[in-house]
Amino acid sequence: MDLRRSRPALAAAAVVLAFACPAAARGDAVTDWDSHANAAIFSTGPAAHEAVLSTAMVHGAVYDAVNAIARGYQDYLPTAPAPRWYSQDAAAATAAFQVVSQLVPKQTMALQEHYDTSLAAIADGPAKAGGIAVGEAAAKAMLEKRANDGRGGPFTFVQGTAPGEWRASPPRFDLGLDPSPWVGNVTPFLVPDVRMLRVDGPDRLRSRAYARDFNEVKSLGSLTSTTRTADQTMAAIFWQAQPGALYGGVMRSLSSRFGLTTAENARLFAMASLAAADGAIGCWKAKYHWLFWRPIDAIHEAATDGNRRTRADRDWKALFDPATATVPPLATPGFPDHPAGHGCVSSATLRAIRDFFGTDRIEFDITSSRFPEQPRHFERFSDALEEVIDARVWGGIHFRNAVEAGAKLGRKVARWERKHYFRRVWGR
């Protein structure tokens, strides 16, 4: 099936029926191993901008393994075609298991149990053995390709004290600085050069635009805000979760609703996760280029910014403060403001999902670990992105310009992916 032709019509019909006729839960090796891989990756407590790199490796390998059998679309990494009767599920499970067990070796025992269960559900024989071999080859290719890609490389923090310069923010100095600052130096998954993703910098401190954003976050993002609504408070906290978990759940739900095949799932998850990874890489490269201060520091030190439209408040605290009752505790992150990471990753991911389905207008629910029993509902992918942008301001941790810049960066990633990857190949 050519999804670029069929998905718009399918999605338009599904919008009407999706919530009147919920789809029965279904899964295959791709969706199952998205859950298994995320559980293993998140178990080590990585920063979100590091976790997306691992998820991209898993789903890139899974896609190449399944696509080698199903064919019809561009490889991500060069892959030899395999017989169409090989087991796609065996290929997907093997590729995922091999990659994630190398990335998170402490989880190998649990992953082995999941892998054994996956293989036990597939009839023994040449199709299963062939699928396993294809999965092993795809995993090997991915691990070799990313072996020296800059992950975990050396990094020197540069903090300042002058107006506008980034510095560690109160009150949780004990949380430390960015645990994965090197992400911006990692080789991108999609774009040939991370510099292609550079976005404009923060507003000038003396500008009206800066003052507008300053006063907005000062009012709406305050721990004791009287202008932020209860729903805005919930939304701000809701989105402070691993993007892989947030959007993985959305994609598994959409897969069930639309009855996606194993090959379609492999392409959907690869498109989203690879875009997310480049969103993070481009974002962190830009963050440590611009080195712009966070709202809490800007508000505390506003008397020094040279802008007559801003007023300092040395006692101001953000909603994202340990005093806010949620687990894990909230705080201003220990890395620069501009551009906003969630804006970069969410924009790239949601646009990639939209590109897969060929339409923005699909209703869906999204669940957060912060409020597991209270999903939020959206009518369009773009509606969710708009709330992400607002939520970072409501949380008091970003200027609006930073989140909008992140969304622009994510849009660049998705546009590049749409033009250069996962394209239909006829006659393969």
Which sequence spans correspond to the domains of the chain? 19-150+160-420
Q: Is 184 helix (H, G, I), strand (E, B) or coil?
A: helix
Beta bridge partner(s), residue 366: 376
For residue 389, give both structure tokens.
Answer: 């942008």
DSSP string for 164-182: TB--PPSS-GGG-S-S-GG
Digitized pLDDT (tens) for each residue of the chain, 428 residues in all: 344 434 443 444 343 333 333 333 456 999 999 999 999 999 988 899 999 999 999 999 999 999 999 999 999 999 999 999 999 999 999 999 999 999 999 999 999 999 999 999 999 999 999 999 999 999 999 999 999 999 999 999 999 999 999 999 998 877 789 999 999 999 999 999 999 999 999 999 999 999 999 999 999 999 999 999 999 999 999 999 999 999 999 999 999 999 999 999 999 999 999 999 999 999 999 999 999 999 999 999 999 999 999 999 999 999 999 999 999 999 999 999 999 999 999 999 999 999 999 999 999 999 999 999 999 999 999 999 999 999 999 999 999 999 999 999 999 999 999 999 999 997 66
Longest Cα separation, the chain: 76
For residue 316, what pLDDT is reported? 98
For residue 173, what pLDDT is reported? 76
Torsion sign, CA atoms 66, 72, 75, 79:
positive
Chain-centre distance for alpha carbon 71: 27
Q: 163: how many CB neighbours lie within 10 A of its CB?
A: 17
Q: Is 367 helix (H, G, I), strand (E, B) or coil?
A: strand
Query: Quick check: bond before 46 cis, omega within 30?
Result: no
> What is the Cβ-side half-sphere exposure of residue 137, based on CA atoms within 13 angstroms?
19
DSSP string for 375-425: EEEESSHHHHHHHHHHHHHHTTS--HHHHHHHHHHHHHHHHHHHHHSS-B-
Question: At the top level of CATH, which class does the domain 19-150+160-420 belong to?
Answer: mainly alpha
